[in-house]
Amino acid sequence: MATGETGFDDVTYDLVSVQYHSLKAGHDYGQYVRDAENAGRSDIADFFRSVMKEDSARAKQCHEFLKQLTS
């Protein structure tokens, strides 16, 4: 495996990066849900909830891959 400038192999770095961004986005989407609800747009709030759920699943899958790589 190639090792990037971080000292970690590229795949591990990539998984950590995707996991971080998925979790960060999930946090931000919570505000988007509230904004849509405050605007009376439950359809858009539901959309943001769906996107948040997808990012949560993505972060969880990264976590599982990282566990495999470190065991």
Instruction: Locate 5 and state its tokens.
Output: 């400038």
In contact, 34 and 22? CB cutoff 8 Å: no
- Residues 17-69 have pLDDT tens digits of 999 999 999 889 999 999 999 999 999 999 999 999 999 999 999 999 999 99
Domain ranges in the chain are 10-70
Torsion angle of the four alpha carbons 15, 9, 7, 25, in this order, in degrees rounded to the nearest 10:
-10
pTM score: 0.78
